Amino acid sequence: MSSPPQSVHIVFVPLLAQGHMIPMVDMAQTFASRGAVATIYTTPVNAHRFRTTIDRSSKLGMPIQLVEIPFPCEEVGLPIGYENLDILPSPELLTKFYDAMGKLQEPIEKHLRERTPAPSCIISDKYIFWSSETAQRFGIPRFVFHAMGCFPVLSAHNVKHSDCLDSITSDLEPFEVPGMPKGFKITKAQLPGNSVRRQDFEVFHGKIQEAELAAQGVVLNSFDDLEHGCIEAYQKVIGKRVWCVGPVSLCNKNESDIFRRGNEASSDAEKCMAWLDSMKPRSVIYACLGSLCRLAPSQLMELGRGLGASQQPFVWVIKRGEGDSELENWLMEERFEERVKGRGIVIRGWAPQVAMLSHLAIGGFLTHCGWNSALEGMCSALPMITWPLFSEQFVNEVLVVDILRMGVRVGAKVPVRWGEERKVGILVREDDIARAIHALVSEDEEGEERRKRAAELGEKARQAMQEGGSSHSNVSRVLQYIMAGPTQEAV
């Protein structure tokens, strides 16, 4: 298909959470690189994280724009600057945060009425339910973006629309998820939706479901070879188009953009890249449990002990936030960094994960199985140690370990609910972590097969985004659907 005329204008409205914003910004760049005008709406604090990358793309002639809309913190009773889920210290503030998100609708619509060309389509996060109303007002299609793959999306849909939980008496009793192309078992506790317990979200979830039903299609950050028949199965059960257009992280070609992707990297990260240059190929374990990681300090200390006990070179990324002082005191008292000097390095704050995972020295990835991280590990052809925390991460673990057979479980069995981290305490012990690392780096037949499968999947991920690949072709199909208009079908 030829490039679309620049009158095709796609509006992107992400949820203000790092794991949702990063892939949507990458997706916007993917569509803009094919000639579509892309407008991303966000708020000042969040815009700061992506401004340099978007400005560079714009200067290179890409029709892409980042539009800042003030976030009404004071109006809803939030402290000023609390514009992202990774900043919120407590789940008690979630309702106010989503109320503030809802108040972005009016200024976004006002801005769109003044934009030229007029919008042709909205791609918005599933949580931005009010964008369905916006799309109807402008007479354009709205596509839902799920910040996860089709495997967990289909799993959640099938559980919800079946009676498979009726006979389950325990949260820890494994049950078969129905209707999956490849069957698997999981426990009730490990299902998505168990990470936050709030009654006031019932109305909110009802609106999300209503908006999903009204959408014209679904766009996912995944690729066909990863999904093992889930895309066709999901299209059948929802009766809508499902397009996989990823892994969108591969749209970043510029080294500076890769290093800055998502946020400003800490000074520790720059030193770490130089340190990695001195390490043997595929020798280092990269350990990062995501931007929303809220484990108790005692559990993070156990992770540190496990990394130390493994005797394997490592990079350990620690999120800044609550509990900093406890963890920092422990690091100092244990002289942790001094003891692992030359073998391990600690990064405090934001790390340029894609840049690090693609470094030749990295040989394995200890991950929380967030969808972005799992995909980034796959793109870098890395076997993984899986430590799911919440949301759909336990389902992603099944995909990585049981379906793709390129991972080793660390042994987490139940989610860590936001606000209950200290009550839960330590779920994974030092010995579990060291055991998983030893299994991952093992040179036995199982270890070699795991690395081989990871390498093959990494190659398939790259091919999907190249011209003629499945995701590249799906971007063309989405653009064709938009250009065909509401009364025509795209092939």
Check: CB of residue 12 under 8 Å from CB of residue 39. yes
The 10s digit of each residue's pLDDT in 234-246 is: 999 999 999 999 9
Residues whose CB is less than 8 angstroms from the CB of residue 80 and which lie 6 or more positions away in sequence, other chains included: 73, 74
DSSP codes, 212-244: HHH-SEEEES--HHHHTTHHHHHHHHHTSEEEE
Greater confidence (490 vs 166) lies with: 166
| Spatial distance between the Cα atoms of 427 and 300, rounded to a whole number of angstroms | 11
The 10s digit of each residue's pLDDT in 79-134 is: 999 999 989 988 889 999 999 999 999 999 999 999 999 999 999 999 999 999 99
| Spatial distance between the Cα atoms of 265 and 320, rounded to a whole number of angstroms | 13
What confidence category does residue 485 fall into, taking pLDDT thresholds of 50, 70 and 90? Answer: confident
- Residue 458 is predicted with a pLDDT of 97
- With CA atoms as reference, report the closest residue to 223 among 452, 406, 407, 404: 404
Q: Which residue ranges form the domains of the chain, and what is each CATH number?
A: 9-251+464-484 (3.40.50.2000), 262-462 (3.40.50.2000)
Token pair in block for residue 351: 């790390």
Token pair in block for residue 136: 């109807």
Dihedral in degrees, nearest 10, Cα atoms 475, 18, 67, 79:
160
pTM of the model: 0.94
- Residue 333 is predicted with a pLDDT of 96
Whether the predicted pLDDT of 387 surpasses 80 = yes
Question: Tell me, what DSSP letter sits at residue 254?
Answer: S
Whether the predicted pLDDT of 153 surpasses 80 = yes
* Minimum mean pLDDT range among 95-99, 288-292, 310-314, 381-385: 288-292
Q: Where are the alpha helices (DSSP H) in 39-185?
A: 44-59, 73-76, 94-102, 105-114, 131-138, 150-160
Angle at 407 between CA 298 and CA 295, to 5 degrees: 20
* Residue 24, H or E segment: helix 18-32
* Residue 477, H or E segment: helix 470-484
Distance of CA 366 to the CA centre of its chain: 15
Single-letter amino acid code for the residue at 75: E
| Spatial distance between the Cα atoms of 259 and 254, rounded to a whole number of angstroms | 9
The 10s digit of each residue's pLDDT in 337-346 is: 999 999 999 9
Q: Is the dihedral of CA 188, 193, 195, 200 positive or negative?
A: negative
